[in-house]
């Protein structure tokens, strides 16, 4: 089944404790992206990747890192999480950038 898999689905952590949210797709898509969803703000792009080893900042990249060492994986790294990063995070992939995104199930992150 074609899908984008995110893990974990839920995560509660403490301020400053490094964490990684994994994202994997099995559709051989070149384009992958991370979004955060907050009430009243919609979906805001954090980082995106056009291919292996090619990444770029979205609209809200501060406090986040990404890497794209393999085509299928695009992890989101929070080196020192803060409470303002409490949010619902979505990973997405597409064959052609921005078109027909397939979203993962989401990761609800709470930083206390």
Closer by beta carbon to other proteins, 72 or else 103: 103
Q: How far is the CB of 35 from other proteins (least distance, A)?
A: 8
Closer by beta carbon to other proteins, 14 or else 41: 41
Burial of 1 (0-12, 13-18, 19+ CB in 10 A): exposed
Evaluate whether 43 touches 89 at the Cβ level (below 8 Å).
no
10 is an interface residue for other proteins by CB under 8 A: no
56 is an interface residue for other proteins by CB under 8 A: yes
61 is an interface residue for other proteins by CB under 8 A: no
Task: Tell which one of 41, 53, 83, 84 touches other proteins (CB under 8 A).
Answer: 41
Say how far apart CA 74 and CA 96 lie, in whole Å. 16
- Of 72, 78, 77, residue with least CA distance to 4: 72
Q: How far is CA 57 from the centre of its chain?
A: 12
Binding residues for other proteins, rule: CB under 8 A, are: 31, 33, 35, 40-45, 48-50, 56, 58-59, 90, 96-101, 103-106
């Amino acid at each position: 089944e074609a899908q984008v898999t995110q893990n974990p689905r839920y995560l509660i952590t403490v301020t400053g404790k490094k964490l990684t949210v994994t994202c994997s797709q099995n559709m051989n898509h070149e384009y992958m992206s991370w979004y955060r969803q907050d009430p009243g703000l919609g979906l805001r792009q954090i980082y995106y990747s056009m291919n292996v080893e090619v990444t770029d900042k979205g609209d809200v990249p501060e406090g986040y890192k990404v890497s794209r060492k393999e085509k299928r994986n695009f992890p989101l790294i929070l080196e020192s999480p803060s409470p303002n990063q409490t949010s619902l995070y979505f990973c997405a992939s597409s064959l052609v950038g921005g078109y027909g995104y397939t979203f993962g199930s989401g990761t609800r992150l709470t930083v206390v």
